[in-house]
Amino acid sequence: SAAALAGKEPGTCDPYDPKSGEFCMDEDPQKNDLKRTLRLGGLFFLWYFLNTAYNIGNKLVLTAFPMPWTAATWELFFGFPYVFFLWSTGLRKAPKLSMESIKLLAPSGVLLAGTHVGGVISFGLGAISFTHVLKATEPVWSAFISAIFFRDFLPLPVYASLVPIICGVGLASVKELTFSWMSFIAGTASAVTSAAKAILSKKVLDGKPLGENLTPANMFAILSILGFIAITPVSLLIEPPKAAAAAWSAALARGYTNAQMIRLLSVSGFLYYIYNEVAFLALAEVAPVTHAVTNTVKRVVIILASIIVFKTTITPLGAIGSGITILGALLYALAKQKYK
């Protein structure tokens, strides 16, 4: 009919006719909820997959090229070409910062670099599963730093939730077959710097007008760049070019090719950066409790995957200790959310 051709058939949407507004409504809310659930599910699956792949890829890099400072510095650098491409092409709005804002963010960048290099050193010297148990102690250090430096005390039930973390790490450490003090110290340092960065962001930076277009992904990019700048001189001092060249030559002597080495380092750098990007996208859309649960599940997935891939031997008591630690980290997050 003429009405249908004009877009005014009864029961159809005509954007120029206010009377047809009920037919121009968005889709069924249930369908929208389903779409959001599927999207979030896809993001979390991708986050877990990329994070697990990074952990495995990073261990392969360190097996071939046991230079953790160099590897960590390279992985932080890898974000440069990626974000500059996005910013220069307009695919992502570039952040706008003053020099004063950069000075404020610099300590967070240094702490991010410390978190990363500590984890990489620990991965290289011990089992991935044990490093993630150590990284799960972050709530203990967060509570300690908040109390000592900021006089910020938590309710007793929240402190009580830290007990399983401490006991679990003790049990896992005693029964860890590949235990090394350097791995333990580096993994713990990673947890401490991560806790310090989170507290710094909340106590010092929160609410300050730092600049424009500072989305979580852009903030991670800026901190990665600042972290790379901060860590490079230290990395060159601890692992000078001659040492890195010698390690590279040793890898070639063991049968690796230059192409394989470059590919391992490039894939590891890409996975490190991109899994953080996906994590920001996923976690920005969920409540704190969901955040805590998904982060706990992520650690379990990585630990199980690393045990399977690298055939890591783990004792029953070590497994129990690891489980208690990770469960304690979840209880802490839930308790803190309840009693905040």
Kindly indicate the confidence band of residue 27, based on its pLDDT and cuts at 50, 70 and 90: low
Q: Are 227 and 76 in contact (CB under 8 A)?
A: yes
Confidence check: pLDDT of 10 > 80: no
Amino acid 172 reads A
Kindly indicate the confidence band of residue 30, based on its pLDDT and cuts at 50, 70 and 90: low
Amino acid 273 reads Y
Main-chain dihedrals φ then ψ at residue 211, nearest 5 degrees: 160, -165
Confidence check: pLDDT of 19 > 50: no
Alpha helices in 21-135 (DSSP H): 29-64, 68-77, 79-89, 99-125, 128-135
Ramachandran area for residue 255 (φ above 0: left; ψ -120 to 50: alpha; else beta): left
Main-chain dihedrals φ then ψ at residue 240, nearest 5 degrees: -60, 160
pTM for the model stands at 0.83
> In 3D, which of 264, 220, 268 has the Cα closest to residue 54?
268
pLDDT tens-place string over residues 190-225: 999 999 998 888 776 766 778 888 888 888 899 999
Q: Are 200 and 150 in contact (CB under 8 A)?
A: no
Residue 50 to residue 210: CA distance in whole angstroms: 30
Q: What ranges do the domains of the chain cover?
A: 39-60+67-338
Residue 19 burial (10 A CB sphere; 0-12, 13-18, 19+): exposed
Residue 175 to residue 147: CA distance in whole angstroms: 31
Kindly indicate the confidence band of residue 159, based on its pLDDT and cuts at 50, 70 and 90: very high
CA-based R_g, the chain, Å: 24
Confidence check: pLDDT of 7 > 50: no
DSSP symbol at 65: S
Residue 311 burial (10 A CB sphere; 0-12, 13-18, 19+): exposed
